[in-house]
Amino acid sequence: MAVNDNPRRTPLIAGNWKMNLDHLQAIAFVQKLAWNLKDAKHDFSAVEVAVFPPFTDLRSVQTLVSADKLPLAYGAQDLSAQDSGAYTGEISGGFLSQLECQYVLIGHSERRTLHGEDDEQVAAKVKAALKHNLVPIICVGETAADLELHGPSAVPVAQLKAALSGVSNAADIVVAYEPVWAIGSGQAATPEQAEQVAAQLRNVLKDTLGEDVAARTRILYGGSVKGVNIAGYMREPNLDGALVGGASLDIDEFSSIVRFQKHVGL
């Protein structure tokens, strides 16, 4: 089968840097990434590319992207559910909008496990993102124990339903399916496994937000994605891109993921 080429969903390759690269490193990295992709004649309108640097890098990335008119999107790795006030250490969605972020990651498994974020907080953050005109990338995924106890889709489906409570059907959102056992482990889900869950997630979108939103919402796969395995995911009908962690910190590797079409002979 050829690459998933649903005309309503432009593929998105998103690089989550996690807590890596300071603002000076970020400038050099983004500049090199853009050059690299430009040299390779990457068509940014055919495959969208986004980076998710730490908060402290965002202003530098904004300045560079805007001054050099780079065709890269960027976003934050988290946001506060609150707009402003006495919330030490929190970052408002309003601040992120001011920095011209298009996206924000919400409910990444590292937020859920290391910072105890629950479904209710995730839902509140999704609402905050939409309120500030940010596209939330809602992360869901099961642990190895969940997989054994409940099978692959029960937990991600429940997490997505919870995250969407109170979301209107006009909303622009992205869903990222990231099995926790595949993150940073080198043990990626197979394309068939990821597709099976993505199809269930699309059903949730259909049931909660309607056919139209379900048809236009991108579902990404995340968990040990590399240049050598991206093509398999992109052939699946319900997968529209990838959320990449470790490999997004290596310019050649990330560029190879972005240019997945060359792996499928396009």
Ligand X SMILES: O=C[C@H](O)COP(=O)(O)O
Active site amino acids: 108, 178
Among residues 243, 256, 257, 260, which is the contact residue for ligand X, using CB under 6 A?
Answer: 243
- Which stretch, 94-102, 130-138, 149-157, 237-245, contacts ligand X (CB under 6 A)? 237-245
**Binding of ligand X by 184 (CB under 6 A):** yes
Q: Which of 16, 80, 255, 256 binds ligand X (CB under 6 A)?
A: 16
Among 80, 159, 224, 255, binds ligand X (CB under 6 A): 224
Find the shortest distance in angstroms from Cβ 225 to ligand X.
Answer: 5
Counting contacts by CB under 6 A, is residue 159 touching ligand X? no
Give the nearer residue to ligand X in terms of CB position, either 152 or 246.
Answer: 246
Please tell me whether residue 106 binds ligand X under the rule CB under 6 A: no
Residue selected from 246, 256, 261, 263 as contacting ligand X according to rule CB under 6 A: 246
**Closer to ligand X by Cβ: residue 214 or 260:** 260
Q: Is 16 flagged in the annotation as binding?
A: yes
Smallest distance, ligand X to C-beta of residue 73, A: 15
What sign has the CA pseudo-torsion 199, 201, 207, 210?
Answer: negative
| Window contacting ligand X (CB under 6 A); options: 78-86, 143-151, 221-229, 230-238 | 221-229
183 binds ligand X (CB under 6 A): yes
Q: Which residue is nearest to ligand X (CB)?
A: 245
- Any known ligand binding at 85? no
For position 223 contacting ligand X by CB under 6 A, the verdict is yes
Q: Answer yes or no whether residue 232 interacts with ligand X by CB under 6 A.
A: no
214-218 contacts, C-beta under 8 A, 24 or more apart: 215/8, 216/8, 216/9, 217/9, 217/173, 217/174, 217/175, 218/9, 218/10, 218/11, 218/12, 218/174, 218/175
- 245 in a labelled binding site: yes
Residues forming contacts to ligand X in the complex (CB under 6 A) are 16, 108, 178, 183-184, 222-225, 243-247
Residues of each annotated binding site for substrate? 16-18, 184, 224, 245-246
Residues of each annotated binding site? 16-18, 184, 224, 245-246
